[in-house]
Structure 1
Amino acid sequence: MIKNLRRGLLASALAFAVLAPASPAQADEVTLMDGITALPVAEEIREGYKRELYPHWKDDDKNGCTARNDVLIAEAIEAPTVGAGCALTGGVWHSYYDDVLVQGPSGVDIDHLIPLAEVHDSGGYGWTTERRRRYANDLGSDVTLVGVSARSNRQKADQDPATWMPMAAVHCRYLGEWVATKHRWGLAVDRAEREALLRYAASCPNARITYEPAL
């Protein structure tokens, strides 16, 4: 279950840790730079990608709420009302990609931090349907799924950091979450992506990442 600890308005861009709900003995912690250089480099394979290959917004924890609503409840800075069937009304969310406050759940997009198409390109093409489903509904990490403004999510689409980044003040946070999620799910990077990660990470000398590999 996701922890209800995210996200302060404009978290520190230079010194942070990507949190995972695991004990230190289960988690891996490295510097951001070491995390980037440890990622395998491979050409992307988009062949065969279809969004429906990654079943998403399921209630895998059987708590009566879809993964989307679980994230909305966890990330709200003003809690929504939870009605029958986990219907949500009201509430306020902070979109850290663009520092926007969003009123009401319908204006919030739940972004897969590593977009589903990027996951497929980076190794998901070889996954089973069950593993794809587990990624698409991953509540075992606080950063795989993130509530953001619809506008920023549309701008990002399926791009990686070589072609899209959020606002500059949160670059270090975003890079850390991206790299931690790639490690958590055993995904590769392509050369342009790796170069972009290293270039941006040069401005994050104190950043460290913590992640628990997904089973």
Structure 2
Amino acid sequence: MRPHLVALAAVPLTAALLAPAPAYAAATPLADAIAALTVAEESRTGYDRSLFPHWVDADRNGCHTRAEVLIEEAEIAPEVGDRCRLTGGEWFSYYDGRTLTEAGSLDIDHMVPLAEAWDSGASEWSTNRRRDFANDLDEPVALVAVSAASNRSKADRDPAEWLPPAEEVHCRYVTEWTTVKTRWSLSVDEAELEALNTVADTCPDAVVETTPAL
């Protein structure tokens, strides 16, 4: 499991009683979650990919974020060798419906691309917060293993400009996009909002459920 668990036994009872309860978001209908997003103009001024440090080995287990996602999302688990070298395994790239059997043929896509995040509010963040966004293993849909071809086709485009070629996954994609924008309090522009709502109209049962990023 990607989310890292904390052993409660190590926390003194008094500290546990005094600590604020974590904020868990209730399931919100997709259309309502989209409506709650802030609408704002975007600006890419000053963007550089290096401003979002990745990939990192946050838990110091020898596997950086890319490898962690590949291990978590494998349909057939790969073997993990020295220095977290992955061999074997099988993955399903939901963007284009392809099954892949070599880790090197997959990219780890930021559901909301780094440049799009910058445009939508991350330009105001600290470097540490941008690092946390770029390596977000606590939100399962923030990072996704997909074919390199589909990820590079998407590039840094938002849903007004790009949707997965597999039309049957558009509801899933827009729900996951909205989940990440909600979690990180990122804005949307007018064209993006219209595209999200157009897809959401075909997804009456879709819900967004996430927790705010700390």
TM-score normalised by L of structure 1? 0.88
Aligned match of 1:2: 2
Residue 110 in structure 1 maps to residue 82 in structure 2: no
Aligned to 2:130: 132
CA contact (8 A) 2:23 2:212 kept: no
Matches within 5 A, 1:17-28: 26-28=24-26
- Post-superposition shift, 1:25? 6.0
Structure-1 residue corresponding to 2:173: 174
Taking the aligned partners of 1:182 and 1:104, their CA distance within structure 2 comes to 30
Question: Which consecutive unaligned segments of at least 5 residues does structure 2 have?
Answer: 4-20
1:28 alignment partner, SS class: coil
Q: Which has the higher contact order (CA 8 A, sep 6+)?
A: 1
| Aligned-pair CA distance for 1:103 | 1.2
Distance 2:106 2:92 in 1: 9
TM alignment of 1:1-215, pairs within 5 A:
2=2, 26-166=24-164, 167-215=166-214
- Residue 45 of structure 1, CA deviation: 1.2
Moved over 3 A (4+): none
Q: Distance in 2 between matches of 1:208 and 1:52?
A: 33
State the superposition RMSD in angstroms. Answer: 1.4
* Matched residue SS, 1:47: coil
* CA displacement, residues 80-122 of structure 1 (integer Å, 9 cap, x when unaligned): 1100111111111100001001111000100000000000000
Question: Quick one: distance in 1 between partners of 2:138 and 2:51?
Answer: 20
SS in 2 for 1:211: coil
Instruction: Output the CA distance in 1 between the equivalents of 2:22 and 2:162.
Output: 32
Count of residue correspondences: 196
The structural deviation recorded for 1:28 is 3.3
Give the distance between the partners of 2:32 and 2:95, measured in 1 at CA: 24
TM-score calculated relative to the size of structure 2: 0.89
